[in-house]
């Protein structure tokens, strides 16, 4: 089971989001840390614009390919 918490706020007319996720993967008796939440960023010239946050579960290779496509 994955626990994901996201908080959004507006401060002085600007929006902010904080996202947190557990990062433990368990396969039988083996547990390890993995990154489950990735930012989706748009790069325009020298500026980076945050667009979204993506998370996934399931086959690791399919999830990583989906992140790259985003």
Nearest CA to 25 out of 37, 17, 35, 33 is that of 33
User: What is the per-residue pLDDT for 62?
Assistant: 75
Question: What pLDDT does 2 receive?
Answer: 67
pLDDT higher than threshold 70 for residue 1: no
Model confidence pLDDT, tens digit, residues 8-67: 888 888 888 887 777 777 788 888 777 777 778 888 888 888 887 777 766 667 777 777
pLDDT at 8 (0 to 100): 86
Q: Do the beta carbons of residue 38 and residue 53 sit within 8 Å?
A: yes
Contact between residue 63 and residue 57 where contact means Cβ atoms under 8 Å apart: yes
């Amino acid at each position: 089971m994955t626990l994901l918490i996201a908080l959004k706020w507006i401060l002085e007319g600007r929006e902010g989001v904080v996202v947190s996720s557990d990062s433990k993967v368990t396969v039988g008796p083996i547990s390890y840390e993995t990154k489950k939440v990735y930012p989706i960023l748009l790069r325009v010239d020298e500026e980076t614009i945050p667009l979204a946050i993506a998370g996934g579960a399931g086959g690791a290779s399919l999830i990583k390919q989906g992140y790259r496509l985003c």
